[in-house]
């Protein structure tokens, strides 16, 4: 029986391990206190996203993770209650695509 985690016979270890990040306490007051470190406000056109951040297309809030995000990952925006699938935009930054 084939392992569902293997892709076309290649092992899971072929992919580089994801980076880990320490999240500082944010100023995002729209969610409960224990979740505030996972969200921040988008600062406008000059704002750069880190490899562990994705922007919600619905409410323009930046969702942060303790690990590196890659296309295909799923995240949840607690501010607008939207489930997002991470995609890479033509400009190269990570964006969320609404699933429901």
Domain extents in the chain: 18-98
pLDDT of res. 10: 42
pLDDT of res. 97: 92
Identify the DSSP state of 38. Answer: G
Tokens of 51: 């490899």
Distance CA 34, CA 15 (A): 32
Mean pLDDT, contiguous 10-residue spans, the chain (100 residues): 45 69 81 88 88 91 92 92 92 85
């Amino acid at each position: 029986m084939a392992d569902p985690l293997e892709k076309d016979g290649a092992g899971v270890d072929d992919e580089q391990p994801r980076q880990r990040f320490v999240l500082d306490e944010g100023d995002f007051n729209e969610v409960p206190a224990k979740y505030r470190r996972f969200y921040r406000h988008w600062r406008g056109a000059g704002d750069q996203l880190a490899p562990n951040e994705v922007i919600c297309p619905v409410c323009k809030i930046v969702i942060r993770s303790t690990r590196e995000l890659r296309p295909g990952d799923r995240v949840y925006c607690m501010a607008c209650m939207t489930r997002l699938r991470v995609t890479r935009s033509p400009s190269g930054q990570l964006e969320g695509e609404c699933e429901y």
